[in-house]
Amino acid sequence: MGNSFGQLFRITTWGESHGGGVGVVIDGCPPRLGLVEADIQPDLDRRRPGQSAIVSPRREADRVEILSGTFEGRTLGTPISMWVRNEDARPEAYSEMATKFRPSHADYTYQAKFGIRNWQGGGRTSARETIGRVAAGAVAKKLLRERFGVEIVAFVLRVQGIEARVDMENVRQKDVEASPVRCPDGEAARRMIRLIEKMRRAGDSVGGVIECVGRGVPAGWGEPVFDRLEADLGKGMLSLPASKGFEVGSGFAGTLLTGLQHNDAFQSRGGKVRTLTNRSGGIQGGISNGETIYFRVAFKPVATVMREQQTVDVNLKNTTLKARGRHDPCVLPRAVPMVEAMAALVLADHALRQQAQCGWGAPSKK
Ligand SMILES: Cc1cc2nc3c(=O)[nH]c(=O)nc-3n(C[C@H](O)[C@H](O)[C@H](O)COP(=O)(O)O)c2cc1C
């Protein structure tokens, strides 16, 4: 249970870190969309470990294979199944975790819930599970780009106390990819990298914040009341491993303003209803208003640190654990394509839902 996401553009992910592989089934993708492995691989390359000196050194090529749902390079409208083999599994590095719970990881809660767990590499709690989402997200992004003119860009806004200055209306993926930390502010990126390297040497970890923008979303996407656009975005983001917070538009900082200061005044411009400011983050009443959608996701400092820590074993004995294995001292750079993928999955689902209920265009005047 809990392995599927979306209503009309619906995905189910499967697989564990040290099993045969990990993958996804997409149901509901419209037919006749051009789709080959090369459309998906670039996002998996941005997600994979071993891509730079500041992420986990696990050596995985993460080559995606499409098993079904396409014919001669186009989607058929039937379930699209994709997968990636696990190649660099090293279960011996996790042998202590067979009996001991890593503090602040999911070992204890999986044991408490299921009474059994795959302790090798964290099983399904590993970030390898997100391969399926990133692959499906690449399909959703293509659908959004080609059929709806929507573009999604995420970037690292903050690592611990180092915050970037970014023009989110104009930031492009190539600016983000210019640095291995995926922060488009060059000076902040250099400082972030130095901090992450310092953390790796100290056997410690750091967290931070990713910001994501969605440009070109028309007014009308989102399904009140329970499937408000921001509610589905929040669920998508908080379903990512190590994510701990979500805010849209002005978010928590907006509470420091008054209503007069905070309101986005309307203006008729270019034959459209526009707003002078965008503190709503492009969403009002759970429905997109045609302005840029933007939100932020907080990621914690990851649990697995290379220092001795107090814990408990499966026999309830107090003990200590010093982790070994390959880990990310900061998940933020690799989480950027994951945030984009979840945003694309939510927006693609709502695009199809809007079409299904209201047709191609909602009336704009009434
Ligand atoms: C890109 C990425 C990489 C991660 N790498 C690690 C890692 O190397 N070591 C680790 O302990 N956790 C890592 N995590 C986090 C765990 O998967 C996560 O903490 C675990 O599933 C428990 O969930 P929770 O932290 O949300 O409670 C990573 C998460 C992401 C998004």
Centre of ligand 1 from the C-alpha of residue 303, in Å: 7
pLDDT of residue 363: 53
**Nearest residue CA, atom 11 of ligand 1?**
304
- Ligand 1 pocket check for 125: Cβ under 6 Å: yes
**Nearest residue CA, atom 19 of ligand 1?**
242
CA distances from 45 to 42, 69, 139 (A): 5, 22, 15
Atom of ligand 1 nearest to the CA of 240: 31
- Ligand 1 pocket check for 56: Cβ under 6 Å: yes
Contact between 96 and 28 under an 8 Å Cβ cutoff? The reply is: no
Flag residues of the chain having pLDDT under 70. 360-366
pLDDT of residue 122: 82
DSSP string, 52-107: STTS---------EEEESEETTEE-SSPEEEEEE--S--GGGGGGGGTBPPTTSSH
Q: Reduced to 3 states, what is the DSSP secondary structure of residue 231?
A: helix
3-state helix, strand, coil in the chain (%, to 5): 35, 25, 45
Q: Which of 4, 12, 10, 44 is nearest to 30 (CA)?
A: 10
pLDDT of residue 366: 46
**Nearest residue CA, atom 5 of ligand 1?**
328
- Ligand 1 pocket check for 217: Cβ under 6 Å: no
pLDDT of residue 232: 98
**Nearest residue CA, atom 28 of ligand 1?**
127
**Nearest residue CA, atom 7 of ligand 1?**
327
The whole-angstrom separation of Cα 266 and Cα 41 is 41
Atom of ligand 1 nearest to the CA of 130: 31
Q: Reduced to 3 states, what is the DSSP secondary structure of residue 112?
A: helix
The whole-angstrom separation of Cα 209 and Cα 154 is 11
- Ligand 1 pocket check for 138: Cβ under 6 Å: no
Centre of ligand 1 from the C-alpha of residue 241, in Å: 5
